Amino acid sequence: MQTNSTAAPELAALKVEGLTRSAFLVRGTLAAGAAYGLGAVGPYVSRAMAQAGGDIDIVNFALTLEYLEAAFYQEAGTKVSGLDGETAKLVKELGENEQEHVDALIAAAKQLGGTPAPKPGVDFGQSFASKDAFLKTAVTFEDTGVSAYNGAAPSIKSPDILTAAGSIVQIEARHAALVRLLAGENPAPDAFDKVLDMPAVLEAVKPFIKA
């Protein structure tokens, strides 16, 4: 199968800076989505999490994703021009939700006796150039988050962590529906998440997971 680098160009433009394992996993997740579309994210995360060190790795992976989403909406609130009052209010609320997810996952990492992943550097490219560009990236980003949580869930051992992840992914799915509506898209286009075979996914993300 040939790599299709335009499957999700919004993801291809995002840059994550960090040397932690969770940062590399997030890079691989974004690369999988960029190369093959969002159907590649869940299978890639499932395979990566199966090889991870346990619940703390999963929590830190989710924490790194939430750092990115929180930063995305915080930056959008100050950098995107042309947002009407209701949209600006929603962007603020989504950013606050994501920050609460960050705080909860930091607490979860500590509860597990681990060290929370540090906040990575991030570059969102041209995502804030216009309202349309922002909404397009927001849709892709939220859909990616939902797929990533779904991919990680089967590897979680702790009932408490699984419950926490389940409560977060439900909110992420609502976020995805909200931004889809704002973008004029179908909030629930499919009855089930699409998946891609693992060899194709791994081929797409191989350059991004060297450490």
Q: Where are the domains of the chain?
A: 9-208
Q: Please tell me whether the overall predicted TM-score, pTM, comes out greater than 0.85 for this model.
A: yes
> What per-residue confidence (pLDDT) applies to 159?
95
User: Residues 187-193: contacts with CB within 8 Å, 24+ apart?
Assistant: 193/38, 193/39, 193/42, 193/147, 193/150
> What per-residue confidence (pLDDT) applies to 194?
67
Question: Pick from 54, 61, 62: which is nearest to 22 by CA?
Answer: 61
First-to-last CA distance in the chain? 25
Instruction: State the Rg of the chain over Cα.
Output: 16
**Residue 37, SS3?**
coil
Topology of 9-208 in CATH?
Answer: Ferritin (1.20.1260)
Burial (0-12, 13-18, 19+ Cβ within 10 Å), 131: middle
How is residue 185 annotated by DSSP?
S
> What per-residue confidence (pLDDT) applies to 201?
66
Low-confidence ranges of the chain (pLDDT < 50): 1-5, 210-211
> What per-residue confidence (pLDDT) applies to 1?
36
> What per-residue confidence (pLDDT) applies to 48?
87
Question: Pick from 48, 22, 14: which is nearest to 105 by CA?
Answer: 22
> What per-residue confidence (pLDDT) applies to 205?
60
d(CA 156, CA 162): 6
> What per-residue confidence (pLDDT) applies to 117?
95
Answer positive or negative: Cα dihedral of 51, 54, 57, 58.
positive
d(CA 137, CA 200): 24
> What per-residue confidence (pLDDT) applies to 186?
93
